[in-house]
A and B are shown apart, each in its own frame.
Chain A
Amino acid sequence: MIKFVLMVNRQGQTRLSRYFQPVELSRRAALEADVVRCCLSRKKDQCSFVEYKDYKLVYRQYAALYIVVGVTDSENELSVYELVHNFVEVLDKYFSRIMFNLDRVHIILDEMIQNGHVVETNRSRVLAPLTALDKMVD
């Protein structure tokens, strides 16, 4: 089960955070800082899976952005690694450049991961409600 999804930049600022298991607000900042420190300090040739407390972190770097996913032990790490890449591809398809529209990203994330499990991985199907939404707004 996926516990959380974080997007952080090189300086450690959180760009997106989504928790699928409730975590108190006060603890979130500390958790994010800790997780980020863990991932940022790893070198290029180290593996992308880190054991952190009682769960695992799978992280992937895209230019200046790190995507970190916290998963329970029972998940297939390589599969989650692929999922991260899938997510980035969806974002790529929708936005010309990522990140300025936070609520849209949340919507995409909702379409892909619900309640800690993967719902849909097909790019076009994920983006269908969003395109409908955009049409409604315009």
Chain B
Amino acid sequence: MPAPIRLRELIRTIRTARTQAEEREMIQKECAAIRSSFREEDNTYRCRNVAKLLYMHMLGYPAHFGQLECLKLIASQKFTDKRIGYLGAMLLLDERQDVHLLMTNCIKNDLNHSTQYVQGLALCTLGCMGSSEMCRDLAGEVEKLLKTSNSYLRKKAALCAVHVIRKVPELMEMFLPATKNLLSEKNHGVLHTSVVLLTEMCERSPDMLSHFRKLVPQLVRILKNLIMSGYSPEHDVSGISDPFLQVRILRLLRILGKSDDDSSEAMNDILAQVATNTETSKNVGNAILYETVLTIMDIKSESGLRVLAINILGRFLLNNDKNIRYVALTSLLKTVQTDHNAVQRHRSTIVDCLKDLDVSIKRRAMELSFALVNGNNIRGMMKELLYFLDSCDPEFKADCASGVFLAAEKYAPSKRWHIDTIMRVLTTAGSYVRDDSVPNLIQLITNSVEMHAYTVQRLYKALLDDISQQPLVQVASWCIGEYGDLLVSGQCEEEEPIQVTEDEVLDVLEGLLVSNLSTPVTRGYSLTAIMKLSTRFSSVNRIKKVVSIYGSSIDVELQQRAVEYNALFKKYDHMRPALLERMPIMEKTATNGPTEIVQTNGETEPSVVETKHLPPVTQPANQANDLLDLLGGNDVPVIQTTMPTKPASAGGELLDLLGDLSLSGGPTPAPAPSVPTSQPSFLLDGLTSQPLFNDIATAAIPPMTAYHKNGLKIDFTFERANPNPNVAVITIHASNSTEADMTEFVFQAAVPKTFQLQLLSPSSNVVPALNQGTVTQVIRVLNPQKQQLRMRIKLTYTLKGSPVQDLAEVNNFPPQSWQ
């Protein structure tokens, strides 16, 4: 059989392959040749074959048949064989294969070999892929080698020890004595790896950390020597001696000094020295400075040093090299919380980075800019950020928009500025803003009374330009509905008033209704706005016509609204002005959390002027904006949004509203649940007469008997949970009319999927005989969809020594319990 080709030729041949298929063919041919050669147990060429196999493995082809061959190579005496064998072992084997255990003996012998290179090989392999069993067996050998005087071996042994510690943390103590004089080595390789070993030990165990703190002076000395020593050709990289070692030592110092005052103090000088003396013209110097800055930030350094560190970062920001700028921005982001003022000084540079082309730099700069915004610089920063919003990629727009809103809310210098800013965001990035920005903005607008005319004018102009951005359109139509009269009358102090006629306004709003770009929610907004204008404008007929057209719209939402508004025109015309009056100022209350559907049927009737609100429509309250608008822009989104808004009201709060007429608590949105459906008249009646919800919320729900059999009677009594009216609190009372006690009484219940059940612990599990006492247990049922409550119960108890088990279904819940 001809001698197998050398690796070099194989590579050359494979490179000439032009297609994937050709390459695969060549490789398969070669694999077959290698396999037959292995079968022949050919010692001379085994090494070559395995080398080729490794190359093919790197290209992605399977090479597991070479594993045993690697072992044979390792066992051979020739160095070349061993070399390839160990390399193959590192590449092809890992601890998941059982074959690797066979290597343990070989490695052990090689660790004691006479040639240092062979020992080095063994250490390297053990350090790369040794499993925990292997490590346990061979840790002693490694430790011995850690103490030799041969620096070549020592450095490898140190890293091998790192691996051993990672695999078998309990062996850490074994290496402790060997580390004593590791740091007194002259050889940089050994120093480097020992620092790595020390770092690993300190990271793993706090005891070691305190033990090694006393090494800080030694480390400082080594670092000093490195900096002060002149040119040493061995370790020089662009004029700095052994930057890798310097960086490593700095990192170890960081870990050692983290929460410890003494060590931090010992380090202060050397850190300052490194920071000032290192040359920054090349990347190398900057790498060292970067590590120094990170260390200064982490330890308990004095403030002067921290300022120095931040200045270094500022200098990095001005550097032309992108890498350095990126690194600087990342570190500044970490430190902005603690050293806010120092970072402020570099604000202008950071803001310039917003204009950079690189995506990662832009993102970092944006995050950092938001962190730096405060009351003093808000105007300038906002200008830059808005400019950034205009020009950035879509992936940034959402984050930027939310950031702008937050910042504007916290630091707005004036209401007009705030409104302007939000409008700017809506016009430029309107489709990317979060859903709850619309109600927020509406609330903001109602709160700034003097700005109404100005706001509505600007919104109107914006609407004329562009109706594609839904949030903007929604806000605009709401405002026009509310303040249309101001718009038409042309009074505006802040800006040049524009002349608008009623017809033009109605044209715009109608345009919104028919446009393809408007979502159903927007259409709802504009229909309501048109309706509101019926009291503010004089062209009522036109409005009536529009409203009646939509009475037959396909969209259920629109249809319902239109029908009700029609009814307003026809039967309840006398109420219309009162209903459609201006909204009061809304206040934000502090409660968070999802607001639940509230149990109300009608609205309170305040006898003080303010406003009445449009009756809630009976429909599932899934469209927050929808309800919002019906109630005249009340910004309580029902369900799901977590805005700080009106409190979820329970029956109790509504009762308060009845008595207490200030609307600062806000009316609550209430889709009445499955209340009988003859809408407007029923609800409107509710407005003028005593609100019906009174009955529902406060009536006691009658108790019921759920189970009565074999002497065991279970009664349910109900309560409404406060503050959550979706939760029914049921208390079961179990009583026993037989002559013997029922012991080990366990009550279990199951409900359909749309409910959630919570069973609290029972008062006891013995039901005394002859009705002498009852066992009570509380069940809480969450019923968000207001479906009919049904329950299946299972009772187990022991009566007169024999266990009894029973299942029953409970369907006779009174309607009030789940409505």
Name the distance in Å between B61's Cβ and chain A's nearest Cβ. Answer: 9
Compute how far the CA of A14 lies from the CA of B189 in the bound complex, rounded to whole angstroms.
30
- Of B236-244, B373-381, B564-572, the one contacting chain A is B236-244
Name the distance in Å between B158's Cβ and chain A's nearest Cβ. Answer: 9
Compute how far the CA of A115 lies from the CA of B324 in the bound complex, rounded to whole angstroms.
28
Name the distance in Å between A39's Cβ and chain B's nearest Cβ. Answer: 13
- When each residue 53-79 of chain A gets 1 if its CB lies under 8 Å from chain B and 0 otherwise, what string results? 000000000000000000000001111
The residue in chain B whose Cβ has the minimal distance to the Cβ of A128 is: B152
Contact B159 A133 (CB under 8 A): no
Contact A120 B60 (CB under 8 A): no
A119-B155, A120-B189 known; A82+B287 contact, CB < 8 A: yes
Contact A45 B58 (CB under 8 A): no
Contact residues in A for B58 (Cβ distance below 8 Å)? 14, 16-17, 102
Contact residues in B for A50 (Cβ distance below 8 Å)? 360
Contact residues in A for B324 (Cβ distance below 8 Å)? 78
A22-B94, A129-B117 known; A100+B326 contact, CB < 8 A: no
Compute how far the CA of A43 lies from the CA of B356 in the bound complex, rounded to whole angstroms.
13
Contact B80 A117 (CB under 8 A): no
- When each residue 22-63 of chain B gets 1 if its CB lies under 8 Å from chain A and 0 otherwise, what string results? 000000000000000000000000000001001101111010
Cβ contact of B11, chosen from A22, A46, A100, cutoff 8 A: A100
The residue in chain B whose Cβ has the minimal distance to the Cβ of A32 is: B60
Contact A136 B79 (CB under 8 A): yes
The reply to whether the CB of A101 lies closer than 8 angstroms to some CB of chain B is yes
Name the distance in Å between A43's Cβ and chain B's nearest Cβ. Answer: 8
Name the distance in Å between A89's Cβ and chain B's nearest Cβ. Answer: 9
A79-B291, A120-B155 known; A133+B83 contact, CB < 8 A: yes
Contact B156 A78 (CB under 8 A): no
Contact A115 B127 (CB under 8 A): yes
The reply to whether the CB of A93 lies closer than 8 angstroms to some CB of chain B is no
The reply to whether the CB of A40 lies closer than 8 angstroms to some CB of chain B is no
The reply to whether the CB of B84 lies closer than 8 angstroms to some CB of chain A is yes
Compute how far the CA of A18 lies from the CA of B58 in the bound complex, rounded to whole angstroms.
9
Contact A103 B159 (CB under 8 A): no
Compute how far the CA of A132 lies from the CA of B117 in the bound complex, rounded to whole angstroms.
9
The reply to whether the CB of B87 lies closer than 8 angstroms to some CB of chain A is yes
The reply to whether the CB of B283 lies closer than 8 angstroms to some CB of chain A is yes
Residue among A106, A110, A136 with the most chain B CB within 10 A? A110
Contact residues in A for B248 (Cβ distance below 8 Å)? 118
The reply to whether the CB of A49 lies closer than 8 angstroms to some CB of chain B is yes
The reply to whether the CB of B7 lies closer than 8 angstroms to some CB of chain A is yes
The reply to whether the CB of B188 lies closer than 8 angstroms to some CB of chain A is yes
Contact residues in B for A17 (Cβ distance below 8 Å)? 58
Contact B60 A29 (CB under 8 A): yes
Residue among A117, A120, A137 with the most chain B CB within 10 A? A117
Contact B291 A46 (CB under 8 A): no
The residue in chain B whose Cβ has the minimal distance to the Cβ of A22 is: B94
Residues of chain B at interface, number, CB under 8 A: 68
Contact B283 A81 (CB under 8 A): yes
A47-B360, A79-B243 known; A103+B163 contact, CB < 8 A: no
The residue in chain B whose Cβ has the minimal distance to the Cβ of A100 is: B8
Residue among B91, B247, B283 with the most chain A CB within 10 A? B247
Contact B357 A119 (CB under 8 A): no
Contact A115 B290 (CB under 8 A): no
Contact B163 A115 (CB under 8 A): yes
The residue in chain B whose Cβ has the minimal distance to the Cβ of A26 is: B60
Contact B192 A119 (CB under 8 A): yes
The reply to whether the CB of B128 lies closer than 8 angstroms to some CB of chain A is yes
Contact B326 A14 (CB under 8 A): no
Cβ contact of A102, chosen from B55, B124, B156, B294, cutoff 8 A: B55
Contact residues in A for B59 (Cβ distance below 8 Å)? 14
Contact B193 A117 (CB under 8 A): yes
Contact residues in A for B152 (Cβ distance below 8 Å)? 125, 128
Contact A119 B189 (CB under 8 A): yes
The residue in chain B whose Cβ has the minimal distance to the Cβ of A113 is: B159
Contact residues in B for A128 (Cβ distance below 8 Å)? 152
A114-B156, A119-B192, A136-B79 known; A78+B323 contact, CB < 8 A: yes
Contact residues in A for B87 (Cβ distance below 8 Å)? 103, 106-107, 110
Compute how far the CA of A101 lies from the CA of B7 in the bound complex, rounded to whole angstroms.
8
Contact residues in A for B79 (Cβ distance below 8 Å)? 133, 136
Contact residues in A for B242 (Cβ distance below 8 Å)? 121
Contact A79 B162 (CB under 8 A): no
Contact residues in A for B94 (Cβ distance below 8 Å)? 22
Residue among A16, A48, A122 with the most chain B CB within 10 A? A122
Contact A133 B80 (CB under 8 A): yes
- When each residue 264-294 of chain B gets 1 if its CB lies under 8 Å from chain A and 0 otherwise, what string results? 0000000000000000000110110011001
Contact residues in B for A51 (Cβ distance below 8 Å)? 360
The reply to whether the CB of B234 lies closer than 8 angstroms to some CB of chain A is yes
The reply to whether the CB of B615 lies closer than 8 angstroms to some CB of chain A is no
Contact B196 A117 (CB under 8 A): yes
Name the distance in Å between A17's Cβ and chain B's nearest Cβ. Answer: 5
**Would you list 16 pairs from A and B whose C-beta atoms are within 8 A, ordered by A residue?**
A25-B62, A45-B322, A47-B326, A49-B326, A78-B287, A86-B237, A86-B244, A102-B11, A102-B54, A103-B83, A103-B87, A119-B192, A119-B193, A121-B192, A121-B242, A128-B152
Q: Give 4 A-B pairs besides A22-B96, A120-B189 with Cβ atoms closer than 8 angstroms.
A: A78-B323, A117-B196, A118-B192, A121-B192
